Amino acid sequence: MVNNSAAANPSLNRRQVAQALNIPPEMAARNGIPSRMLASAVAEIDANPPAWLAQSRANSTGKRPVWVELRCYVCDFHELARPKKWWPEFSYVMCDFHSDRDLPAPAAGVRRSQFDGVGSRFRGFTDTRDDA
């Protein structure tokens, strides 16, 4: 039997709560977010943020995103990940087990750089013009 009330109001772990509130997990833990919360309670915090969350939101305008969605160009697998400082803007992201041949060939005069270890299972690619 499917429990419909649980499906309508799932319990989120702290990482999912942090994603929903767009804050780092460490901030969630530091401010007393429990290890599991009901989605309705998270929505309540989102709608009526406590002082620490309101402050964080006021401070974070215009900064790099706390979470980025990585989506595989080849198979559409996706995940939310915390961006690392050294991540550029990727032209393509794909699972690390796909072949480079699954990507469109770079245009003439475009140099493709690869970044390993992006998220849990991705490689990132940036296409840049040499004459830039």
**Residues found near Zn ion in the complex (CB under 5 A):** 72, 74-75, 77, 95
- Of the pair 50, 117, the CB lying nearest Zn ion is at 117
Residue 121 CB, nearest approach to Zn ion (Å): 8
- Of the pair 74, 81, the CB lying nearest Zn ion is at 74
Contacts 24+ apart (CB under 8 A), 60-69: 60/22, 65/22, 66/18, 66/22, 66/23, 66/24, 67/19, 67/22
- Of the pair 17, 123, the CB lying nearest Zn ion is at 123
Residue 78 CB, nearest approach to Zn ion (Å): 9
